[in-house]
Amino acid sequence: MSNFIDKAKHKVEELTGHAKEAAGKATDDKDLQAEGKSDQATGGLKQTGDKISDAAQKAKDSLTD
């Protein structure tokens, strides 16, 4: 099961991506915008993985109870 620290890191990665994208738009820096979008996608995918891991652990726990 994903721990709280990992989940927090994944959310921070996503939020950092939002900030980078906004900064890239404000400065017309296409590379920074793309990096921000990439960070958002990566953070989002990791969060999805966390949710799947948690669901699998809950299913396993319900079978052993």
- Is the pLDDT score of 60 beyond 60? yes
Q: Where are the domains of the chain?
A: 4-51
Asked if residue 17 lies in contact with residue 37, where contact means CB atoms within 8 angstroms, the answer is yes
Is the pTM higher than 0.75? yes
As a whole number, mean pLDDT of residues 44-49 equals 96
Mean pLDDT of the chain: 94
Q: How far is CA 6 from CA 18, 37, 48, 58, in A?
A: 19, 20, 12, 18
As a whole number, mean pLDDT of residues 49-54 equals 94
pLDDT digit string, tens, across residues 17-37: 999 999 999 999 999 999 999
Q: What is the pLDDT of residue 25?
A: 98
